[in-house]
Amino acid sequence: MSAKTTTDWDGDDDRPAVGLTIVAMAGMLSALPSAAAPPVAEEVPLVEALQAAGFSALYDYLMDAVQPRLGLMHGYRIVLEIERSGGAADLRQVALQFVELVREVQGDDAAREVSRRLAALR
**One domain, residues 28 and 50:** no
Q: Are residues 63 and 107 in the same domain?
A: yes
Q: Indicate if 24 and 54 belong to the same structural domain.
A: no
Residue 8 sits in the same domain as residue 56: no
What is the total count of domains within the chain?
2
Q: Is residue 93 part of a domain?
A: yes
Whether 9 and 52 map to the same domain: the answer is no
pLDDT (mean) for 9-30: 53
Domain of 84 in residue numbering reads as 46-119
Phi, psi dihedral angles at 2 (to 5 degrees): -95, 155
pLDDT tens digits, 41-51: 456 799 999 99
pLDDT confidence of residue 39: 47
- Confidence (pLDDT) at 59: 97
The rounded Cα 91 to chain-centroid distance in angstroms is 24
Cβ(111)–Cβ(99) below 8 Å: yes
Task: Judge contact between 88 and 53, C-beta under 8 A.
Answer: yes
- Specify the range with the lowest mean pLDDT, choosing from 14-23, 53-62, 74-83: 14-23
Q: Is residue 41 part of a domain?
A: no
Does residue 19 share a domain with residue 67? no
| Res 31 pLDDT > 70 | no
Residues 67 and 102 in one domain: yes
